[in-house]
Amino acid sequence: MDYKFKVEFLEPVIEFLESLDEKSREKILYNIWKSRSVNDNELFKKLDNEIWEFRTLYNKQYFRLFAFWDKSNKQDTIVISTHGIIKKTDKTPKVEIERAESLRIKYFNEKK
């Protein structure tokens, strides 16, 4: 199978995933794996200029992992996932998008 991008997790994502039950974690990881090969806004959706989200609905809970693209490596396109939440409302909280943007800036500053 041909993948469009690789996915890497920052520490807050790993902590978030470890805090979940095994079935929820497996469903999220499956959706991320699937989103690498199919274009589906239900799985991976752009939120603003630079921030995207991996989307999972499982057991009536909405899981979101925030992410951004790192295209600096010409061989591989990488999506960096910053952190995760269990969404309580229809709208994605602005503070979470801002947190993802802050982590994106920090990532690229440290990469230089």
Boundaries of every domain in the chain = 6-111
Task: Say if residues 82 and 100 touch (Cβ distance below 8 Å).
Answer: yes
Task: Say if residues 68 and 80 touch (Cβ distance below 8 Å).
Answer: yes
Average pLDDT, the chain: 93
Q: Per-residue pLDDT for 46 more than 80?
A: yes
**Which pLDDT score, from 0 to 100, does residue 44 have?**
96
Q: Which fold has domain 6-111?
A: YaeB-like fold (3.30.2310)
Of 107, 98, 100, whose CA–CA distance to 83 is shortest?
100
> Which residues, in sequence order, are CB contacts of 78 under 8 Å at separation 6+?
5, 6, 7, 8, 69, 70, 71
As a whole-number percent, the residues of the chain with pLDDT over 90 amount to: 79
Cα first-last separation, the chain: 33
Tens of pLDDT, residue by residue over 55-89, are: 999 999 999 999 999 998 777 889 999 999 999 88
pLDDT band at 1 (very low <50, low <70, confident <90, very high): low
